[in-house]
Amino acid sequence: MSRPHPSVHLLTALLILFMALFLAHPISMTTADIGRHLKNGAALFETGSIIKTNFYSYTHPSFPALNHHWGSGALFFLVWRLAGFSGLHIFFAALALAAFLTFFFLAKKEAGAGIAGCIAIPAIFLLSERTEVRPEVFSYLFCGVFIWILTIVRERPTSSSLLALLPLIQVLWVNSHIYFFIGPSIIAAFFLDRLVASPRDRRTLAHLGGAFLASIAATLVNPFGIAGAAAPFMIFKNYGYRLAENQPVWFMEQVVRDPNFLIFKIVFAALAASFILRLAKKHGADWGYLLLALGISAMAWLQIRNLALFGLFSLPIISSNIAAVWTSKQRTRHEKKLVGTALAVIVFLLVPAFFGHIQRAVPYWREFGLGLRRGDSAAADFFKKNGLRGPLFNNYDIGGYLIFHLYPEERVFVDNRPEAYPADFFPKTYIPMQENNELWKAADVKYSFNAIFFFWRDMTPWGQQFLISRISDPEWAPVFTDESAIIFLKRNEANTPIIDRYEIPKSSFRISPSS
């Protein structure tokens, strides 16, 4: 086997660097889930039990809350305790890069570095949609490992013993992230491909079928049993809040400007064209990859949170289709040109990326950095330093931040887990009390709020209306604000000394989504 040309190594290194530049932004916990994940991990090691109710909230502390990513929280917590936020950031980036490289090398194995490199560049843009520290990075990596093992078995049926690894990985997956259902789906796709391509290869079919059944059984190896295994299919039955990341592409492109919507459409068109070209050339369909392409494409179109997953899957699938159309001789002849093209494009993109110009067009990226964003804990520090107390009213976005910084001294009104609250809590309580002052006053009487802790960049119309009302409300005094959070205190005898020291003039505020 000939050694790869140095340009191939250079291309791989530059692709890693390009993706790393998207990952290199400080962790902002204000609206992220990571604070709650770390608190979940802390609770596990302190009490020896997994959280099963919504006890972070004082509004519905006994409501069942299935913690389907408890394993991720435990691992994130351990890394954070050992290495702080910088270590956690590096750990997450390493997992994300490992997932990308797994899919890139799959594509390279299918069609060569040139084709893989050209497809990897738009895929990295799609991956930039999900660069916060999230449990889903385990799903990205496990998807790649599953496909890698199954492609080896497809090429060399004598390697079927590798399939024994899949149920073991599935056990890790079901306890790490809710996308664990993709594992058995990948096996099923490869089983059907083998059934169509080699129906007489009963031995391999039996091994694949056994791996599928064993992986299904492995989903039951979680603290919640059948309920945990069924979580991906049941979670939206109790989902009373509409999240941007769960909305379809055609809806979100009318709401926000994101270049990845166009990039996704281009890659999707390339994916569809690769299958059409393969069929037109009468090379037959790769049924395994076709089924995976249909499933992942549907997930991406229906929920923008899946654009990154689509980008990863597009790498080996498009490469495989091109490899089927071009002979190895044709690919070899064009390899140097394709590698050169990919190198030229990536070098061209790296220049503005080094200054952050490209990254600022995608979610979460504001500046270069490692670890926790400077000043990220300022609002919580102010709250604790001045001995402030609840009950708190907070908005949905900032719940995880408050859980990390203030629990167990304070519990939240709500946090960013719609499934952890009754479905009617959001449309009948949370939203109306922000829209209607009379309902707000009634809620204030019921809960005796002493402080309001709000993510003031909340773009919802009810959130903006609520802030405008509180700024002009004589019963409440704004005492702290930074680039993300605002704190109000109720005007009473206990809070007067703090209000006298910190009250912010109303003329300082201009509350709007674009602020």
Q: What is the pLDDT of residues 390-442, one digit of tens each?
A: 899 999 999 999 999 999 999 999 998 888 999 899 999 999 999 999 999 99
What pLDDT score was predicted for residue 510? 67
First to last CA, the chain: 59
| pLDDT (0 to 100) of residue 220 | 97
- Quickly count: other Cβ atoms within 10 Å of residue 181's Cβ: 17
pLDDT band for position 512 (50/70/90)?
Answer: low
CA pseudo-torsion sign 202, 208, 214, 216? negative
Provide mean pLDDT across the span 154-174. Answer: 94
Q: For the chain, give the percent of residues with pLDDT over 70.
A: 97
Q: Which residue has the tokens 């913690």?
A: 67
Q: What is the tens place of the pLDDT at every residue in 457-485?
A: 888 899 999 999 999 999 999 999 998 99
C-alpha dist (Å) from residue 369 to 21, 92, 130, 240, 366: 10, 14, 16, 35, 9
pLDDT the model gives residue 264: 96
476-481 β-sheet, strand order: 392-394, 451-455, 485-490, 476-481
Average pLDDT over residues 43-57: 89
Report the range of poorest mean pLDDT among 227-231, 349-353, 444-448, 502-506: 502-506
Would you place residue 257 in the very low, low, confident or very high pLDDT band (cuts 50, 70, 90)? confident
Q: Point out the least confidently predicted range of 55-69, 170-184, 437-451.
A: 55-69
Q: Quickly state the pLDDT bin for 35 (edges 50, 70, 90).
A: very high
Kindly report whether the global pTM for this prediction surpasses the value 0.85. Answer: yes
Distance in angstroms (rounded) separating the CA atoms of residues 357 and 378: 27
Give the pLDDT of residue 362. Answer: 85
Please say if the pLDDT value at position 513 is more than 80. no
